[in-house]
Amino acid sequence: MWQIIAFLLLLIFPGIAMSDNSTNLNAYKFSFISIDGRNLHLSQFEGKVLLVINTASRCGFTRQYSEIQKLWATYRDKGLVVIGVPSNDFGGQEPNGEGEIQEFCKVNFGVDFFMTTKEHVTGDQAHPFYKWVSKEAGLLGKPRWNFHKYLIGPDGQVVDWFSSPTSPTSKRVVKAIEEALSGHS
């Protein structure tokens, strides 16, 4: 009976599934390669709030690019950094190379937030950031599809995560971003 109650609590309050940050790691210890081939060290964003999203161009959630761009335009001057991480891990929905991905995002959604090269976000081949953040977010916080979102606070720790169907401009996401930006996460 207690397992059922614990499971239900985790569904209702996903934050309690997060680990205890005792590893001394934070998001700023990781880096990616930007979609245009430059080093993208997350340490350059230390003290800012990060929204990291695994993306795909041929997904039913691809329309979220426009909402993500809207968040970026609204909050970038307040300290939000948005990073899209293209991945082909779910349904083969990002088969394109970096140039095609970049053009698709720019032409169709006006994307000018940070994008990385295509990465694995799950499994043994997952990018080290995704291995770390999946552990920190707990079992329920691992990406299960494209457009899974992680919110990282100014201290580099996981504040919250949002599943693929959660709109980037939903009240829940916006509230979490605003709280993290104000230091009340």
Task: Write out the catalytic residue numbers.
Answer: 59
Return the HEC string of 45-89. Answer: HCCCEEEEEEECCCCCCCCHHHHHHHHHHHHHHHCEEEEEEECCC
State the Cα–Cα distance between residues 7 and 72, nearest whole angstrom: 34
State the Cα–Cα distance between residues 185 and 181, nearest whole angstrom: 8
Classify each residue of 103-113 as buried b or exposed e, where b means 16 or more C-beta atoms within 10 Å of its C-beta: ebbeeebebeb
Whether the Cβ atoms of residue 157 and residue 27 lie closer than 8 Å to each other? yes
Give the residue from 26, 32, 39, 28 showing the smallest Cα distance to 157.
26
Q: Are strands 31-33 and 39-41 parallel, antiparallel or unpaired?
A: antiparallel
For the chain, report the end-to-end CA distance as a whole number of angstroms.
Answer: 32
